[in-house]
Structure 1
Amino acid sequence: MFNTFNMGVGMAVIVSPETADAALSALKAEGIDAYVCGEIVAGEEKVALC
């Protein structure tokens, strides 16, 4: 499947930490299965995939 289809997370919505709970609630109220999948933090100008 990974060779044929994009098996990524789908759509990403970037919001501030202060509004994350409200965004999750609004999406779930519309029947969208939503979850927090990461955070943006200051770093040393590199990308770390975990």
Structure 2
Amino acid sequence: MNRTKKITKKHMNKLKKANAKLNTSNKPKYISKAERERLAALEAAEAVQIKSE
């Protein structure tokens, strides 16, 4: 690999990383199955409490 190609490759990798930081994903954050069950139980308990009042 010649010197110019090495320099170009380093520059392109730096650009790629910068662009990746700018383009963040719109995907929702992962919530584990146990956490979803816990949240559902809390919502159910809250709903029961509101109905009893």
Per residue, is there more helix in 1 or in 2? Answer: 2
By the TM > 0.5 criterion, same fold? no
TM (normalized to structure 2)? 0.27
Whose radius of gyration is greater, 1 or 2? 2
Structure with the larger RCO, 1 or 2 (CA within 8 Å, 6+ apart): 1
TM (normalized to structure 1)? 0.28
